[in-house]
Amino acid sequence: MVRKVRIIRHAAVTAAALLVSAGLGSTALAASPAPGAPLASPGSPTPSTSAGSTASAASAGGPNREAARLGDYWSAARMAAARPDAGDTNGAPGARTAPPSVDGPRPGEVIPPSRSFDGIPEAGTFFWTDASGTGRTCSGSVVRSPGHDLVLSAGHCLKGYAGTSPLHHLGFVPQYHDGLKPFGIFPVKDNGVYVSQEYYDRGEHAGAAYDFGFAVTEPNEDGKRLQDAVGSVELLTGSGYSHTPVRMIGYPGNAQKPLECVSRTTRWVSDDEADPGTFSRIACDGFVGGTSGGPMLVPWTDGWAVVGVIGGYHTGGNTPQVSYSAYFGTAIQDLYEAATSGAPPAGPAS
């Protein structure tokens, strides 16, 4: 059962200490808020599960031949050659024609820098092949779940790959960097992709407010479940739009390492009739195609909580300097409950 808790407020120095412990340098910390700034907006946000669930479950056990097969397929060369999903236009010049007032930096706005690093275990990238056999990628993060097997990403990354996962060689690699799979690869289960029916029905732009999705994974080659292998972040819903500091992580297409940036999110109401809705907006430099699905993280009592993913409002952003997330409210909470209960996933209308 989902329980409601009030978000715990920390002093800015505590948040900075958490970010330093995660490996952020002084440049990133310079983007942190002034002393006394809150970590998240007031209200009663809803975490996905209780904080103690991770310690209570055991590994799945037993080698997984499908994971071994998938690991052999996704060699270092194939992973390096994979390109952003064809529908992932985040930060791609010319991806959509939009005047500067619609999507992108504001005049005079300071854009926090990003930096390349080796990543964190709780974030990683999906690899799969499209209908032409081309390798594709999108970012994701491991969210706490009863089954210890759930990855959060953008809806536009996952929506085309529901159904039988082996057909697409679809798997998740936590903390991928430099051609390495530090924890192995976790195949996505058959019929394990969960995207809102509203997103399928309305499409990428009219349904931008539903641009999130989950993938249920199988254990890795050693039979270990995803959350047991790498840990997880808390899925936080109903927490508002304004969060400070926010650590955003994403994997640019064809890059060998992920990017991270520290900034803040604010409320943004779309002024484009084709992409209606209210979104979380964050300024961070360098987040281009492939970073879609990457998490927006805030310090949490036992690590990190995710309050957004790159996706929605022009599929995550028209420029590399500004990204957006669909709001984490009742729609993503309902989708999480469907994914963790084993309910049949939604799909395109026949």
Counting Cα atoms < 13 Å in the Cβ hemisphere of 310 gives: 40
Mean pLDDT value across residues 120-137? 94
- The predicted pLDDT at position 166 comes to 63
Residue 208 has pLDDT above 60, yes or no: yes
Query: Given this model, what pLDDT does residue 254 score?
Result: 79
| pLDDT digits 0-9 by tens, 63-107 | 999 999 999 999 999 999 999 976 555 444 333 334 444 678 888
Please indicate whether residue 213 or residue 166 has the higher confidence score (pLDDT): 213
What Cα–Cα distance (Å) separates residue 305 from each residue in 122, 233, 250, 274? 11, 5, 16, 31
pLDDT tens across 254-290, in order?
789 999 999 999 999 998 888 899 999 999 999 998 8
Provide the token pair at 187. Answer: 């195949």
Query: In the prediction, which pLDDT does 78 show?
Result: 95
State which H helix or E strand residue 172 sits in. strand 171-174
How much is the pLDDT for 60? 55
User: Taking residues 36-60, what's their average pLDDT?
Assistant: 41
Q: How far is CA 309 from CA 69, 152, 214, 343, in A?
A: 30, 8, 11, 23
* pTM of the predicted model as reported, rounded to 2 decimal places: 0.83
Nearest of 64, 92, 43 to residue 242 by alpha carbon: 43
| pLDDT above 70 coverage of the chain, percent | 76
- pLDDT digits over 146-164, tens only? 999 999 999 999 998 876 6
Only one residue has tokens 């999110």, namely 265
As a whole number, the mean pLDDT across the chain is 82
Give the span between the Cα atoms of 158 and 170, in whole angstroms: 10
- The pLDDT of 296-308, averaged and rounded, is 96
